[in-house]
Amino acid sequence: MSDDGPSLDELQEGSTFGDRDDPEASNPYDSVEEDDPDDDSIREDLIDRIGDKVSGPENRSIGCRDPMFAAYLDHLSEDDERMAEVASTLAGELGKEAPDDPQKADVIRMLLRLGLRAGDSEEYERLVDARGEQAKRSM
C-alpha cells in the first residue's frame, strides 16, 4: 500500500452526497448523534407533569376559544353522526380507536396530537415517550 494517495478522510470530504432528487442530502459521515443533556431534563419534566395531570385534582378538560373552531365544534356537538365520523377519521389517522361517544374534547385532543405529529414529529415522539414512561412508573 502506498502513502502517495489521499487519505480516507480526504476522500470522504471530497465526495458529494445526494442524488438527482435531493442534491442537498446530508453527508452520512456527519450524522453522529450526540446525547443532549437537556433531552433528559425535558423528558423528566414531561413525565412529572403528565403524572400530575393524571393523578391531580386539576380539571383536565380541554377547550377551544378560537371562534372558527369553537363554532365548528359546537356544530359537531349537535350532530352525533357527524361527530362520530370526524372522531373516527381523526382516530384512524392516529392509529387508534375512536371513543364510543365522542365529545368536543376528544376531537380537540386528536387534532392536537395530529397537529403536533405533523408539525414537529420529534416533539410528538418525545411527548408520547414521556406518557408511556409515566404510565410504567405509575403501575
| Residue 68 to residue 59: CA distance in whole angstroms | 24
Residue type, 94: L
Mean pLDDT of 28-56: 75
Query: Which is higher by pLDDT, 74 or 11?
Result: 74
Mean pLDDT of 65-86: 95
| Residue 89 to residue 110: CA distance in whole angstroms | 10
pLDDT at 32 over 70: no
Q: What are the respective helix, strand and coil percentages of the chain, to the nearest 5?
A: 65, 0, 35
pLDDT at 104 over 70: yes
